[in-house]
Amino acid sequence: MRNQILLGVALAAAGLVGVAAQTPPAPQPPATQQPQAPQARGPASSALNYVPGVGDLMHLLVQPRHAKLGLAARERNWELAAYALKELDQAFATVAKVQPKWRNTTVSEAIESMTGEAMRDLDEAVRARNAKQFAEAYDALTDGCNSCHTALNQGFIVIKPPEASSFPNQEFKLP
């Protein structure tokens, strides 16, 4: 529940960033007016300026979709697996859009070089409804994630296939 609340807060904050970017700037007061009081500081005011970091985005967007993809395929729910794969692909694209650079690394290039082939193989496996091919591609994706973490000196972040669902409110078996 706490993770869902944090996800909601982070996504709302990220949405506010987009709203703030679309809001025209306030008109400047004429020189003869008294200066306005400084704006409030704290969580409410900083939410408008919040840009989630790569770690935030990976934790909130990528990691749950990786898990859901694995859980759906484990149950041979290929329609759900196809959806989870599309969502994972979109999550990677969002990370690269929100944080195009991380340190000296172009995020989209890192994602493509470490996971691109596995993502294409997963798409092929899901379309073929081939569990063996899926397992190999999913392991390659997971290895790609971990290779990327290692290459970026974050090797202590180790991703693995889910052993159990952490989504008690979602059924992964076919209805």
Task: Tell me which architecture the domain covering 54-151 has in CATH.
Answer: Up-down Bundle (1.20)
The predicted-structure confidence for 145-168, as pLDDT tens digits, reads as follows: 999 999 999 999 999 999 999 999
Give the residue among 70, 77, 61 at the shortest CA–CA distance from 141.
70
For tokens 């729910």, what's the residue?
A: 77
**Domain ranges for the chain:** 54-151
- Give the pLDDT of residue 27: 55
For tokens 């967007």, what's the residue?
A: 61
- Give CA–CA dist 78/126, Å, rounded: 6
Residues whose CB is less than 8 angstroms from the CB of residue 158 and which lie 6 or more positions away in sequence, other chains included: 146, 149
Supply the pTM of this predicted model: 0.72
The predicted-structure confidence for 115-149, as pLDDT tens digits, reads as follows: 999 999 999 999 999 999 999 999 999 999 999 99
- Give the pLDDT of residue 13: 47
Long-range contacts of 81-88 (CB under 8 A, 24+ apart): 81/126, 81/134, 82/126, 82/127, 85/119, 85/122, 85/123, 85/126, 88/62, 88/119
| Tokens standing for residue 121 | 């193989």
* DSSP-assigned letter for residue 169: T
